Amino acid sequence: MKKFFIMAAFAALTLASCNNEAKKVDATAAPEAAGNASQKIAYVEIDSIMTQYTMCVNAKAELEKKGKNIQTTLANKQQSLENAAAKFQQDVQSNKYTQQQAQNVQAGLQKQGQDLQALQQRLSAEFAEEEQKFNEALTDTIHHFIERYNKQKGYAFIFSKSGDNILYAGQAYNITDEVIKGLNKEYKPAK
C-alpha cells in the first residue's frame, strides 16, 4: 500500500511539476494534454479508513489487547526476577549461603535474566510480524477494493490523503465515505 501511495503521490507531483521543459511542448502534444486534463480524479482519506473501517478497528483492538498481554507478561516476569534478586541479596547479607551456593543462585538469576531478554525479543518480533501481516492484509484489501470500485467509476487517479501529503483537495473529489461503506459491506470478520 505504501508503494501504491508513494507512486500516486509521485504521479501527482509529476503532473503538477512546472519545469522549463514543459514550456517547450509543441502544438501536436496540446490535444493529448487537454484530454488528460478532463480525466476524473479522486482521493481517499486514509485516516478515516483507519478509524471507520471495521477491519481496522477490530484489528487495532486485537493488537492492543495482545500488546497489553505481552507487557503484562514481561512486567510480571521482570518483577519476579527483581524479587528473587532482592531476596538473594538479603540472604547473602544474612550469610545463608556458602560461597558456592551463592555463585549457583547468582548464575541461576543471570540465566533467568537472559531468558527474560530472549522472551522479550521473541514476543516483540512476533508482535511486529503480526502487525506487518495485518498491514499487508489491509493494503491488499483496500487495493483490491479500489480496483473493483474503479471499474464502475472510471477514475484516472485515486490518491491517498494522509495528513498533509496533499496540500489541497476539493471535497467534491473525496470518495472516502463510499470506499469505507464498500469496504465495511465486504468485510467478513474471522470467527
* Alpha-helical runs (H) found in 94-187: 99-153, 176-186
In order along its 191 residues, the chain shows pLDDT tens digits of 333 333 333 333 333 333 333 333 333 333 344 445 578 999 999 999 999 999 999 999 999 999 999 999 999 999 999 999 999 999 999 999 889 999 999 999 999 999 999 999 999 999 999 999 999 999 999 999 999 999 999 999 999 999 888 888 899 999 999 999 999 999 988 77
Q: pTM for this structure?
A: 0.68
CB contact at 8 A, 33 and 15? no
b (16+ CB within 10 A) / e for 23-34: eeeeeeeeeeee
| Nearest of 44, 39, 3 to residue 149 by alpha carbon | 44
Residues linked to residue 28 through DSSP beta bridges, in sequence order: none
In angstroms, the CA 110 to CA 107 distance is: 5
- Give percent above pLDDT 70 in the chain: 80
pLDDT one-digit tens code per residue, 85-123: 999 999 999 999 889 999 999 999 999 999 999 999 999
SS (H, E, C) 17-82: CCCHHHHHCCHHHHHHHHHHHCCCEEEEEHHHHHHHCHHHHHHHHHHHHHHHHHHHHHHHHHHHHH
